Amino acid sequence: MVRAALLAALGAGVVAGLVLFGLQCVATLPLIAEAEVYEATTRGAASAGATEGATEGATRRDLVTAGADVLASFGFALLLVAAFAWRGVGGWRSGLAWGLAGYASVSLAPALGLPPALPGGAETALGERQAWWLLTAGATAAGLWLVAFAPPAAKALGLVLLVVPHVLGAPEAGAAGVPDELRVRLIAAVLLTSLVHWLVLGGLAAWLFARLGAPSDTSPG
């Protein structure tokens, strides 16, 4: 089963990571580039040499982003496959549900307090943002798990975990230095691309895991 888990996570991670990068190239990276141009223009820093250097830097950044997307997807796929092995995998349809849970934990819930930010926005210290993100992602994942699988008496604890990070409140992000319209477009694009990514990741990981010989509680979907 370990071999099936690793192969399923690897296959799903590579495919979902490349899908995510492709969506980012279309939906989010152009917005980031637009914000960088806006920031350079407002600071009077734009020049031909700077533009050429920015183009070369963007190419390197794209390669790094693609690699990071694949690695992160592989890591998330390992967590999903571990959950499949524990609870039993029911095929790609159940994988979509797990993918939605991952999306809610990693993307949607943290974005309620710390929405995706563009270059040029005033931000709080990175450590504070990371700590709140980890708290929110972990509490959301644990809360959803309890609501879905715990005995009735423990489901209330799951609901509490879902709201605790937001009651505590996210760190103040400060005033953005880019137009609100651009910031709203980025938030929508990031949340949409992340949703597609998690659905692909969950569905494909479950489908591969079921067909590579993993134990199953139901027939594959």
Q: What is the mean pLDDT of the chain?
A: 85
218 pLDDT more than 70 = no
Tens of pLDDT, residues 17-62: 999 999 999 999 888 888 777 766 766 554 444 445 555 666 788 8
The confidence score (pLDDT) of residue 92 equals: 87
Mind listing the pLDDT tens digit for each residue in 156-211? 999 999 999 999 998 876 655 677 788 899 999 999 999 999 999 999 999 999 98
Q: Locate the domains of the chain by residue range.
A: 2-111+176-211, 124-172
HEC assignment per residue over the chain: CHHHHHHHHHHHHHHHHHHHHHHHHHHCHHHHHHHHHHHHHHCCCCCHHHHHHHHHHHHHHHHHHHHHHHHHHHHHHHHHHHHHHHHCECCHHHHHHHHHHHHHHHHHHHHHHCCCCCCCECCCCHHHHHHHHHHHHHHHHHHHHHHHHCCHHHHHHHHHHHHHHHHHCCCCCCCECCCHHHHHHHHHHHHHHHHHHHHHHHHHHHHHHHHCCCCECCCCC
pTM of the model: 0.84
Percent of the chain exceeding pLDDT 70 equals: 82
